[in-house]
Structure formats: structure tokens, C-alpha cells
Amino acid sequence: NERLPVQYIAGVTPWRNFKIAVSSAVLIPRPETECLIDLAKALFADASGHWADLGTGSGAIAIGLADVLPNATIHAVDYSLEALAIAQANADDLGFADRIKFYQGCWWEPLALLKGQFSGMVSNPPYIPTSILTTLQPEVVNHEPHLALDGGVDGLDCIRNLVEISPSYLRSGGVWLIEMMAGQADAVRELLQNQGNYCNIQIHADLAGIERFALAYRS
């Protein structure tokens, strides 16, 4: 197991003010994603209602949201049962079990009963173009789950799906907020514009100045 990430060896990583348990079934939560939660805190701290974390992995985003949006109910979805077990254990250990509900399935699918009612959707979806995967550092490509990394030929498969499907799940004024890869901002902005049901589309930078987050509102 050459160049196994130290976080997998330790079984835990610091992330925001938490210790998040990880295994090789989930991505290691990253500093950029801490920024995503800062953005949610700055803009939506007073928010209530239903918020979704789609592709929750370790549960980091769901836990971060539960922490900074104290009046919101968080619904966390993942395709991987192994990931969900870790996310649920993290929520339990960190005292957020009563604030986060967990679901197995594909993106919005398990939340169909709440169609049209969501106040927000936050996601750090797989966004690496398949051809780039093998060029990533060995710690990542040889050890982190490809299900959580591989975004298809242009890296935008999952983001396209989230752009298309979210309007039917968000209430009017509902928030659409994702993390993406360097260089994807223009394409994601265009997807949101062309879909036709979003307004006030914004791109926000991470601490390195890279356009990293896309934010829009359901019109």
C-alpha cells in the first residue's frame, strides 16, 4: 500500500472544528470544502427548512451544514452504503444525529417525497475528467474511491445531472451550491444559465483564488 494517505492510516482527519473519521470508502474531506461551509454560513446562517447534501461521503458537508445552519434539517444522500455507515457514525459521534437524515441512492432520487420543498442543495460531486484521473497524485488515484472522483469524459456528468434535476426539488428561491474543479466555472455557469430555472448565478473563489464554488437560486 505505497503512498497510502496518512488520513486513512490514522482513520481520522481534522476538518473545520471536527475530527472526521475516514476510510478508503470515502474521500478525505479537504480544506476547499471547509470554504464551501464558510460560504453557506456567511450567506444562509438564518436559513431553515430542508437542505440536501448529495454525495455526502464521510458526511463532512452534512455535518458542516448542520453546524452553521442551526435551524435547518439536513438530508444526506450517498450511493455507497459503506460511505453512509461512516457518515452516520460521524454524525452520531459529533452530536448531529438528530439533525441529519441519511439515505442510500442516486443524487436526489431517495428524496422524491420532498420534491419542490428544499431550501437548499449543497454538493461536492465527482468532477475529475476520466482521462485526468491517472495523472493525479498516487495518494489520490491509488487510494481514494473513484466513484467519488470520476466525473466522466469532461468531468461534468454529475454536475449536469444536478443542474437538470435540482429545479424540481428546490422551492422558489432555493439555493444550489456546489464545489467544482479549477477551470470548470465558465462551463458550470453556462449549464445553469441554459437550464433556464436559475437566477443570480455566482462563482466564488477558494483561499487560493481559484474559482471553486458555483451558487445559484431556483427562480
Does 20 help bind ligand GLN (rule: CB under 6 A)?
no
Q: How far is the CB of 219 from ligand GLN (least distance, A)?
A: 26
At 61, which amino acid appears?
Answer: I
Q: Among residues 13, 56, 90, 119, which is the contact residue for ligand GLN, using CB under 6 A?
A: 56
Does 178 help bind ligand GLN (rule: CB under 6 A)?
no
- Interacting positions 118-157 with ligand GLN (CB under 6 A): 124-126, 148
Site string for ligand GLN, 21-50 (x = CB under 6 A): ------x-x---x-----------------
CA pseudo-torsion sign 142, 104, 84, 107 = positive
Nearest residue to 72 via CA among 124, 18, 119: 119
CA distances in angstroms from 70 to 45, 115, 156, 210, listed in the order given: 7, 22, 31, 29
Stretch that binds ligand GLN, among 56-64, 93-101, 162-170, 187-195 (CB under 6 A): 56-64
Does 110 help bind ligand GLN (rule: CB under 6 A)?
no
Q: How far is the CB of 84 from ligand GLN (least distance, A)?
A: 12
CB 206 within 8 A of CB 213: yes
- Running DSSP on this structure, what letter comes out for residue 116? T
Return d(Cα 153, Cα 132) in angstroms, integer. Answer: 9
Does 90 help bind ligand GLN (rule: CB under 6 A)?
no
At 112, which amino acid appears?
Answer: A
Q: How far is the CB of 30 from ligand GLN (least distance, A)?
A: 7
Residues β-bridged to residue 214: 178, 203
Q: Among residues 37, 40, 47, 61, which is the contact residue for ligand GLN, using CB under 6 A?
A: 61
Does 58 help bind ligand GLN (rule: CB under 6 A)?
yes
CA pseudo-torsion sign 102, 30, 107, 41 = positive
Return d(Cα 25, Cα 28) in angstroms, integer. Answer: 10
Runs of H (alpha helix) within the chain: 6-10, 31-44, 60-68, 81-93, 130-133, 138-141, 157-165, 185-195
Does 55 help bind ligand GLN (rule: CB under 6 A)?
yes
Q: Among residues 13, 47, 57, 150, which is the contact residue for ligand GLN, using CB under 6 A?
A: 57
Q: Which of 27/47 has CB closer to ligand GLN?
A: 27
Q: Which of 56/184 has CB closer to ligand GLN?
A: 56
Contact residues toward ligand GLN (CB under 6 A) are 27, 29, 33, 55-58, 60-61, 124-126, 148
